[in-house]
Structure 1
Amino acid sequence: MSEPAFFRTEIWHPLSVHFPITLLLLATVIMVVALFLRGDQKLFWQKAGSYSLYAGCLAAWVAIYTGDMADGIVSRKICDPTVLKSHEVAAFNLAYLFTGATVLTLSLNIIKLYHKPLRVLIVLLMLAGTYFLIDAGHNGVQVVYQQGGGVNVPSSDCNGY
């Protein structure tokens, strides 16, 4: 009998990775929309986008941490470890880009400054991060579904279930 699924550390990564995907994509869309609004609507959507960005950035670093925990287990099971490495590189790129956007957003929000060129730069960083988010997701899907990374294959008679 194998250990319960919760104690398999490679399971923690797919549990944690969906939060940053959702939050960072939502934050990017909201911040793009906020660029074209005025007045109170602009302020509301910028705050909503900022909070989504903060939570998503934190969740991205948690996903990287859990991905590092799964790496040692998954890399031994797959045929092409270069896909796993590409997944990791894209994940770090997106985390750095969204962290940069987070730092800029925090600094603008703390000093209560609206600076259009910096807001545009934040959105550009987020759009570049979104590219790497999609790339990391694509490579992650290849690791799991094409190479069986992190997948527990049951015996032919399904003994143990």
Structure 2
Amino acid sequence: MTEPTFWRAEIWHPLTLHFPITLLLVATVVMVVVLFLSGDKKIFWQKVGSYSLYAGCLAAWVAIYTGDMADGIVSRKICDPTVLKSHENAAFNLAYLFTAATALTLSLNIINLYHKTLRILVVLLMIAGTYYLVETGHKGAQVVYEQGGGVNMPASDCAGY
């Protein structure tokens, strides 16, 4: 008897990776817009961007953890493991960049400082992280759709269904 599909380790990764994609993209767009706002709108949207960044950064590390769980299973089934390694490297790059942006934003928010140059640095880190977010998604799509990574292939007679 095989284990239910939900408990397969490689299934947890696609379940967790959509949170950081959404949260980090929203955070990046909001933080760019905040650079051009002033007054109460700036304060409100700065908080929205910061909270999205914090949650997205945490979710990115969860997605990396679940990706590591899936790696041992998927890497044995695909033809070109270098694509999987490129996917992993891009994921770590985005996580490091967004973690740096999170640490800087958190420290600025704790000391209640709005320093324009440092906020621009945060946005630049987030834009660089977004580049790696897109790269990670592209490589992940190659692993799944070109290499069949993490895909359960049914028998030709579909006997398992």
TM-score range, shorter chain: over 0.9
What is the rounded CA distance, in whole Å, between the counterparts of 1:57 and 1:152 in structure 2?
30
SS in 1 for 2:17: helix
What is the rounded CA distance, in whole Å, between the counterparts of 1:14 and 1:2 in structure 2?
21
What are the equivalent positions in structure 2 for 1:32-43 lying under 5 Å apart?
32-43=32-43
Partner of 1:130 in structure 2? Answer: 130
C-alpha offsets along residues 37-93 of structure 1, whole Å, 9 cap, x if unaligned? 000001111000000000000000000000000000000000000000000000000
C-alpha displacement of 1:143: 0.1
C-alpha displacement of 1:2: 2.3
Partner of 1:45 in structure 2? Answer: 45
Structure 1 segments (4+ residues) deviating >6 Å: none
Partner of 2:2 in structure 1? Answer: 2
What is the rounded CA distance, in whole Å, between the counterparts of 1:5 and 1:120 in structure 2?
45
C-alpha offsets along residues 79-112 of structure 1, whole Å, 9 cap, x if unaligned? 0000000000000000000000000000000000
State whether structure 2 residue 19 is matched by structure 1 residue 19. yes
Number of residue pairs matched?
A: 161
What is the rounded CA distance, in whole Å, between the counterparts of 2:35 and 2:153 in structure 1?
48
Partner of 1:89 in structure 2? Answer: 89
What is the rounded CA distance, in whole Å, between the counterparts of 1:98 and 1:136 in structure 2?
14
TM-score (norm 1): 0.99
State the AA in 1 paired with 2:58: L
**Identity across aligned pairs (percent)?**
81
SS in 2 for 1:105: helix
Mean Cα displacement is larger for which, 114-123 or 2-11? Answer: 2-11
Structure 2 segments unaligned to the other structure (5+ residues): none
What is the rounded CA distance, in whole Å, between the counterparts of 1:47 and 1:160 in structure 2?
50
Give the CA RMSD over aligned residues.
0.5
TM-score (norm 2): 0.99
Structure 1 segments unaligned to the other structure (5+ residues): none
State the AA in 2 paired with 1:33: V
Partner of 1:104 in structure 2? Answer: 104
